[in-house]
Amino acid sequence: MTYPETLAYLYEQLPMFTRIGAAAYKKDLHNTIELCDSLGNPQHQFKSIHVAGTNGKGSTCHMLAAIFQQAGYKTGLYTSPHIKVFGERIRINGQMIDESFVIDFVKRTQSLYAAIQPSFFELTVAMAFEYFAKEKVDIAIIETGLGGRLDSTNIISPILSVISNIGFDHMNLLGNTLPEIAAQKAGIIKHHTAAVIGEVLPETKPVFIKEAQEQEAPLYIASDRYNVDYTENWGTYLSCHVKDLQDHSVEIINLDLNGLYQSKNICTVLCAVDILRKQGYNLPPKELHTALENVKSLTGMRGRWDIVQNLPTIIQDVAHNMDGIEQILYQLNTNYPKANLHFVLGFVKDKDVTHVLELFPKDASYYFTNAHIPRAMPHEELKSLAAEKQLTGESFDKVNEALAAAKLQAKENDVIMICGSFFIIGEID
């Protein structure tokens, strides 16, 4: 098979959560365990850091990967979903997985499909683990796909577990309360293995404490150690004044990820780095600063408050749930308080779209659209739901048509915000 034929096979023959939703979600680790066992358990052949969370886990993964990479470690990075191309999911030192490896892996494992019947995610997790083992990475940063306890990635034995935060998302699979969701995320905490929690809430903190105690795992709350008390947004980067709550010193850290919400993730990352240094990893302050100033170029990260054009300003962000949308709306009001806003919006239909729509301003212009995947909420349906919340606009079957319409309407000082789904961003030309 050619590489395009191989990817077509993966997308079309295997159940894929990003396309069909809950039907592809397996509530146990049996398939992944069986797959990796047949491959010689590659997940035990390299050191790893496991990262979960409702929002911020992808950014946290990319920042940690950039720091290790800049410090000279051969660094694997597994994240999902991809925005444009499959190879974004599996990288080493920022370079996407070799296409010939993907072709060979799919050929070699085809005989297992009938017996195991893995999902797309289960197979790509096994693929990533074997790739990292074969390439002998020094460290791999592994992002959970959904939840934690029952996520396919949760067969690794990491040197550190990180949970960015807890919010409402995937309630149909993870639970309808914050403690229920936290209990699923807390499932990545391992026996005698340090765990960092980025943000805690009164409802979730006891869940993490209980899990850590049961696992006899040292627990660190990043927000108890670090706080960003001031930020400056310079368009192309975010300057964070980070206060160490132990000695009250302040360090200025510049990020090329310029979403204001990154000020929370940086505290999580710094707390993780403190622990990793104590474990013997050489992560010098100078290399850390350089890495955080160049996360995008080092790791290939995309889709987080990406300003892709000025006059009018066009911003892309993969925010898709309540917490994520709240963060980008806050930054829009902070950075562009007087601008006319244009939203190119598209969601998947298994999200809590009705409540998310309640967050959007009623005086903005809207261009409703949909990605071309089975999970996508049809643009006409989204327009109808939005109208019930007094959000008015036109709907478009293609994302690029919606964006073109927004560009026609927007004046030079206006802002066009594209958000609601990874897949909306992925279909932009």
pLDDT per position as a tens digit, 290-334: 999 999 999 999 999 999 999 999 999 999 888 899 999 999 999
Q: Tell me the pLDDT of the chain averaged across its residues.
A: 93
Count of C-beta atoms within a 10 Å radius of residue 253: 20
Kindly list the domain boundaries of the chain, sorted by start residue. Answer: 3-296, 306-426
First vs last C-alpha separation in the chain = 27
Fold of 306-426: Protein-Tyrosine Phosphatase; Chain A (3.90.190)
Q: Which amino acid is at 313?
A: T
pLDDT per position as a tens digit, 85-138: 999 999 999 999 999 999 999 999 988 887 888 889 999 999 999 999 999 999
**pLDDT tier at 64, thresholds 50, 70, 90:** very high
User: CA 420 to CA 322: how far, in whole Å?
Assistant: 10
pLDDT at position 168 is 65
E strand segments, 282-389: 306-309, 313-316, 341-345, 365-368
Range 3-296 has CATH code 3.40.1190.10: yes
What is the share, in percent, of the chain residues with pLDDT greater than 90? 83
Question: Three-state DSSP class for 85?
Answer: coil
Q: Say how far residue 166 (Cα) sits from the centre of its chain.
A: 13
**pLDDT tier at 418, thresholds 50, 70, 90:** very high
Scan for tokens 């909306």, then name that residue.
424
Stretch 332-353: mean pLDDT? 93
Is the torsion defined by CA of 358, 360, 361, 363 positive or negative?
Answer: negative
Could you tell me whether strands 238-244 and 226-233 are parallel, antiparallel, or unpaired per DSSP bridges? antiparallel
Across 124-138, 145-159, 176-190, the highest mean pLDDT is recorded for 124-138
pLDDT at position 300 is 95
Stretch 190-195: mean pLDDT? 98
pLDDT at position 147 is 82
Q: Which amino acid is at 1?
A: M
Question: Three-state DSSP class for 194?
Answer: coil
- Kindly write down the DSSP assignment for every residue of 109-145, as one continuous string: HHHHHHHH---HHHHHHHHHHHHHHHTT-SEEEEE-S
Sheet strand arrangement including 90-92 = 95-96, 90-92, 75-78, 139-143, 48-52, 160-163, 195-197, 219-221
Stretch 65-92: mean pLDDT? 97
Does position 15 have pLDDT exceeding 80, yes or no?
A: no
Stretch 36-50: mean pLDDT? 97
